[in-house]
Structure 1
């Protein structure tokens, strides 16, 4: 990934303030997660939202699928000087994905199913809102499973001919029972069986960065368990709203879904 440097001073002061540069990997773009480092003691806020900075200066921040073409990053330097920088956010074009053959109840749930879905959304929001101090998110992400890419982040979904919300994950299709691995070290904050997602795991990696693994046939990792990168945590399945066995894999910064594909490194396991 490309290392970017945010210049915090005019050219004449660059050398004097070189130690105050903030660096990160990647480009600010719709759906992007940026992971970087600032001088210890720096305070950051993106669009008015506080960005957690570790004692070593590590931080993460994300931009949603439909983010505007710029964002304001407010920086308070260790010495107390404060400034706001306007970051350009690259616009992306999203695919349209048509899915047919779903049971009608999975497209338009009845009232009892809607009550269940509402409760599950609350549980999921709690898990994805965890703000732990760990910095496992700074590592490169490895692939969660081997298989064919059958769905991409950001695509507009049309289910049984009805437009629905965009697809907020990466789908990897393989036979039921295919091993699924943790893409980063972390702690399992949610393990459950949901209406749309089927059997699901959520893993926290620190600073609001979390990953979600859905449509599982078996959950191996337990809620509260600490897992290592590459550890087998589940088996692929076809539970929830699916037309066939696959893994729905999502990356988030708190409640904001992001595109995991640009961050995945190496070969599929």
Structure 2
């Protein structure tokens, strides 16, 4: 739901000569409308929305954080699984004025499973934590890479089809202690089933050895802060820096890392926000 209405800015009278010594006026803020931004998509927890900034925009921000937009004024924004219910989109114009659009972020009823008698798990060893830090640093660096890819403009395709064995956002509560929520969608298929790129992009990480949790991990940047990660692969068929096209085979399903059976875990992020890929890819065919 989008909130807001247009308000004409007031025009102040000419300042007196002494005003030259006064502090500068704050830029005017205009309540914007959906038409100003031409927003579409899923403004909800775990959702991704696409839009066009108003003509004359020189900068864009979401909740105070800068958001890039293309030369044709198009942009995208994402909302984390636990995003707050309200957000603010602000376009700064060439004259310093700003157009602000208040966004209402729809909540989700995630799949929560309570296991009151099962403890969460063992405490990780120092050796594991040291190894995990190196892996996480590589993942963070890969996600921060801006390749200029244009796949974010495309409709996403499923990288593999089959039985959905895990849904985005699901979470287990172990003896009252929440575990990490499931940050992607799982597709169960036999080991060796091909995995295709869901959109154009550039490979930013292709594990040369299995990661402790993700196993053989592949990451593709689709541009504008949007990226895909494919976990537990049995084989990776591309290398860092490779340009890939939507539908191109990039690897194969497996059960490397922490997995109880062969499946593809497909995760997507827009910057720091974890996004549900399933609604973006649509029904399987």
TM-score, length of structure 2 as denominator length: 0.81
Which position in structure 1 is the counterpart of 2:214? 197
For residues 97 and 190 of structure 1, do their structure 2 counterparts lie closer, same or farther at Cα, with a shift above 3 Å needed? farther
Pick the structure with more strand per residue. Answer: 1
1:65 maps to which residue? 81
Q: Residue 135 of structure 2 aligns to a residue in which SS?
A: helix
Q: 1:94 to 1:239 in 2, by over 3 A?
A: same
Aligned runs of 1:244-263 on 2, under 5 Å?
244-263=261-280
Q: 2:23 matched to which residue of 1?
A: none
Deviation at 1:33? 1.1
2: CA distance, partners of 1:97 / 1:241: 20
CA deviation after TM superposition for structure 1 residue 98, in Å: 7.8
2:53 paired residue among 31, 38, 41: 38
Q: Which runs of 5+ in 2 are unaligned?
A: 9-31
Contact 1:39 1:78 in 2 (8 A): no
User: How many residues align structurally?
Assistant: 255
Query: Is contact 1:191-1:202 (8 Å) kept?
Result: yes
2:67 matched to which residue of 1? 51
Using the alignment, how far apart are the partners of 1:235 and 1:181 within structure 2?
A: 9
Distance, in Å, in 1 between the alignment partners of 2:90 and 2:199 is: 29
Within 2, Cα distance between the matches of 1:89 and 1:239? 36
Task: Summarize the Cα distance change of 1:156–1:266 in structure 2 as closer, same or farther, 3 Å threshold.
Answer: closer
Structure 2 distance, partners of 1:235, 1:210, is: 19
Offset, 1:159: 7.6
Counterpart position of 1:169: 184
Q: Aligned partners of 1:98, 1:172: CA distance in 2, in Å?
A: 23
Compared with structure 1, are the counterparts of its residues 70 and 5 closer, same or farther at alpha carbon in structure 2 (3 Å cutoff)? closer
Partner residue, 1:14: none
For residues 65 and 128 of structure 1, the distance between their equivalents in structure 2, rounded to whole angstroms, comes to 18
Q: Hey, what's the Cα distance between the residues in 1 that align with 2:175 and 2:231?
A: 21
* Residue in structure 1 matched with residue 36 of structure 2 by the alignment: 21
Residue 166 (structure 2) pairs with residue 151 (structure 1): yes
Match of 2:135 in 1: 120
* Residue among 60, 83, 90 paired with 1:74: 90
Q: Please give the alpha-carbon distance, in whole angstroms, between the structure 2 residues aligned to 1:159 and 1:181.
A: 35
Please give the TM-score of this superposition, normalised by the length of structure 1.
0.85
**Which blocks of at least 5 consecutive residues in structure 1 are unaligned?**
12-16
Matched position secondary structure for 2:138: helix
Alpha-carbon displacement from aligned partner over 1:138-175 (angstroms, at most 9, x marks no partner): 11000010211011111113589974211110010110
Q: Deviations over 1:41-62 (max 9, x none)?
A: 4221001000101111111111
Q: Is the 8 A contact 1:40 1:56 kept in 2?
A: no
